[in-house]
Amino acid sequence: MKCIFGLCFFLLFTACTKDKNGPLSELDHGKLLYDTHCQTCHGVNGKGDGEMAKMLYPKPRNLASGIFKYRTTHGSIPDDIDLLQTMKMGVPGTSMPGWDVLPEKDWKALLAYIKMLVPRLQEGRPGSRIEVPPMPTTSKVSVEAGRVLYATIGCVACHGAEGKGNGMAAMSLRDAWGDIVPPRDLVRGPLKWGNTDQDLYRTLTLGIPGTPMPGYSRTLTQTEIWQLASYVRSLQKMPPDTNPSSPKRYLIKSAVIHDIPGGYDASAWQQTKPVPVFLHQLTSNSQSAEWLEVKTLANTKSIAFALRWEDTKADGDGVALQFPAKTVDEPSELPFVGMGNIGKPVLLIKWDGEQIRAWKAEGMDRLTPYEVRGVVAKGVYDKGFWKVVIQMPRSLIESSDPNYISFATWDRSVSAEKSPQSFSEWMMTSFE
Ligand code: HEC
Ligand code: HEC
């Protein structure tokens, strides 16, 4: 056994390296996870120049630049809790997915590896965490006070009068990396850095480093910041009773019944509660849905997914289901959620508006047509929403336990056949 303690600060995180055939050191395990799940976007050395980076907007962060947007600390260096939060939850409205399905030991290893890629995280120390004072009771009066503040202190110039991210200055804003950074549409869906009242208080207090979004700790009182937070919350359109940052958001439970109905409006489907599945857009596209509503029903042989999503254009969209094509014994063995990677294939089943097609994929450019039997789909476009039911043999999804699945939407008019418009994280289904 060879110990590598003491080489430098970050290596303190690593456990002892075992013999060649023994378990990996923590840092090696972190590298393995990074290479599978992060490198395609963030690049081999974390410079934001991975294979997929050119097709993404906003660009994957150049982690080595050491500028972090999302932190709850004073100063500009995030602490471990912040980094883990970003990586577990992902960044809504961007392609950055979250990996909540990974267990704690994988997280420790990934964190150690990320710290190794970012010199600034080794050299500097995070400041203390900001204290969020207790929230006063929200009332119509405080929301109205927030609305008046919003209209008068400059938010409108960037975020627009209705919070749609379309203020006069919106298209001229640039970030620290020289790229255009549109102000987030405050109405459309989940915010990037947390969606609770406390998260909003913190965002408004600290601002977003590396972007023109200012912090208001010096110009506004605590009461005013709470009023603004309440107003922003009142604008936000979200599926009811959901917290997109909840670690339980990736569980989909399927009731087992005798006969699975085909049509979306059948009564068995109407009685099934939908789960919102949040989507990550490859390019921040204001037309693309922020979430899918997913319902699942199964019997002994089949499983079916009833999917509904908003689409203002009805231009022939499609939807795909993705599963690991090989058995996954531990979450760390999952393929990359963006269509797998070499040696870790996924199975893609896509409804393209008319028919079902399937592929085995080992990366975005490595798709082989795949024959699947017994998969049927039915979809309609109804009053601004797609409603699609896809039914398939349970054996397709049961190659791993728990059964992992992810979802993607496709827009035939915009993207090439091979590339989705948005995709979800790995989710887990279970039967009850
Ligand atoms: C599909 C592309 C994609 C993948 C895969 C991906 N990221 Fe990201 N990542 C992004 C994008 C895009 C951003 C920038 C988000 C923004 O600017 O709001 C980002 C931002 C980040 C940030 C910066 C957060 C901050 O505070 O500024 C960290 C840290 C990060 N990613 C870590 C990871 C890790 C670790 C993995 C793998 C477990 C990973 N990413 C996988 C696209 C990706
Ligand atoms: C100079 C332009 C500018 C001004 C003024 C401004 N913002 Fe922003 N704001 C931005 C930009 C740009 C972003 C998006 C940063 C990103 O996506 O990385 C943003 C993001 C946000 C977010 C979303 C954070 C998240 O987690 O996604 C909130 C909430 C917000 N602003 C509220 C406000 C409020 C309220 C005001 C007024 C008190 C305000 N902003 C003033 C430019 C501005």
What is the domain partition of the chain in residue ranges?
Answer: 9-123, 140-235, 247-431
The CA distance from 312 to 411, in Å, is 12
Which contiguous run of DSSP H or E holds residue 351? strand 346-351
Residue 160 CA to ligand 1 center (angstroms) comes to 27
Ligand index nearest the alpha carbon of residue 85? 1
Residue 38 CA to ligand 2 center (angstroms) comes to 27
**Ligand 2 contact, 193 CB (< 6 A):** yes
**Ligand 2 contact, 377 CB (< 6 A):** no
Which ligand 1 atom minimizes the distance to the CA of 110? 35
pLDDT(14) > 90: no
Query: DSSP assignment, residue 64?
Result: G
Phi, psi at 35, each rounded to 5°: -60, -35
Q: How far is CA 329 from CA 75, 326, 344, 431, in A?
A: 41, 10, 13, 19
The CA distance from 109 to 31, in Å, is 8
Comparing 341 with 245, the larger pLDDT belongs to: 341
Of 62, 95, 244, 93, the closest CA to residue 182 belongs to 93
The CA distance from 409 to 91, in Å, is 18
Burial class, 3, CB count within 10 angstroms (exposed 0-12 / middle 13-18 / buried 19+)? exposed
- Where is average pLDDT lowest: 1-10, 64-73, 261-270? 1-10
The CA distance from 126 to 70, in Å, is 12
Q: Whose CA is nearest to atom 2 of ligand 2?
A: 158
Residue 286 CA to ligand 2 center (angstroms) comes to 16
Angle at which helices 104-117 and 80-89 cross, to 10°: 110
Which contiguous run of DSSP H or E holds residue 31? helix 26-37
* pLDDT score at 420: 84
* pLDDT score at 81: 94
- What three-state secondary structure class fits 159? helix
Top mutation candidate among 41, 82, 88 for ligand 1, by most atoms within 8 Å of CB: 41
Length of the chain: 432
pTM of the prediction? 0.91
Ligand index nearest the alpha carbon of residue 213? 2
Place of tokens 């003491």: 6
Which contiguous run of DSSP H or E holds residue 275? strand 275-278
Which ligand 1 atom minimizes the distance to the CA of 336? 5
Place of tokens 């549109």: 182
Q: How many helices (H) and strands (E) does the chain have?
A: 10, 14
Residues 179-219: tens digit of each pLDDT:
999 999 999 889 999 888 999 999 999 999 999 999 999 99
Residues 236-268: tens digit of each pLDDT:
998 877 877 776 677 888 999 999 998 899 999
The b-or-e profile of 213-248 (16+ CB within 10 A means b, else e) is bebbeeebeeebbbbbbbbbbbbbebbeeeebbeee
Query: DSSP assignment, residue 81?
Result: H
Average pLDDT, the chain: 89
Is residue 377 within 8 Å of residue 389, measured between CB atoms? yes
Q: Whose CA is nearest to atom 42 of ligand 1?
A: 96
Residue 136 CA to ligand 1 center (angstroms) comes to 34
Cα 281 to its chain centre, rounded Å, is 9
Class of domain 140-235: mainly alpha
* pLDDT score at 431: 86
Is residue 407 within 8 Å of residue 277, measured between CB atoms? yes
Q: Whose CA is nearest to atom 7 of ligand 1?
A: 96
Which ligand 1 atom minimizes the distance to the CA of 59? 12
Copy the structure tokens of residue 281. 């857009």
Which ligand 2 atom minimizes the distance to the CA of 154? 5
pLDDT(130) > 60: yes
Residues 360-397: tens digit of each pLDDT:
999 988 999 999 899 999 999 999 999 999 999 999 88
Residue 60 CA to ligand 1 center (angstroms) comes to 6
Phi, psi at 170, each rounded to 5°: -50, -45
Top mutation candidate among 86, 159, 219 for ligand 2, by most atoms within 8 Å of CB: 159
Give 314's pLDDT tier (boundaries 50, 70, 90).
low
**What single letter denotes the amino acid at residue 335?**
P
Ligand index nearest the alpha carbon of residue 87? 1
Give 16's pLDDT tier (boundaries 50, 70, 90).
very low
Residue 151 CA to ligand 2 center (angstroms) comes to 14
Copy the structure tokens of residue 265. 């409006």
* pLDDT score at 289: 87
Of 59, 425, 96, 99, the closest CA to residue 278 belongs to 425
**What single letter denotes the amino acid at residue 132?**
V
The CA distance from 34 to 112, in Å, is 11
**Signed CA dihedral, 220, 238, 196, 282: sign only:** negative
The CA distance from 406 to 161, in Å, is 36
Same fold, 9-123 and 140-235: yes
Ligand index nearest the alpha carbon of residue 68? 1
Of 198, 193, 191, the closest CA to residue 225 belongs to 198
Copy the structure tokens of residue 388. 């699609």
The CA distance from 58 to 38, in Å, is 15
Class of domain 247-431: mainly beta
The CA distance from 303 to 298, in Å, is 4
**Ligand 2 contact, 191 CB (< 6 A):** yes
Residue 90 CA to ligand 1 center (angstroms) comes to 7
**Signed CA dihedral, 179, 184, 188, 193: sign only:** positive
6 in the Ramachandran plot: left (φ > 0), alpha (ψ -120 to 50) or beta?
A: left
What superfamily does domain 9-123 belong to in CATH?
Cytochrome c-like domain (1.10.760.10)
* pLDDT score at 397: 87
Ligand index nearest the alpha carbon of residue 94? 1
**What single letter denotes the amino acid at residue 351?**
W
**What single letter denotes the amino acid at residue 361?**
A
Which ligand 2 atom minimizes the distance to the CA of 220? 38
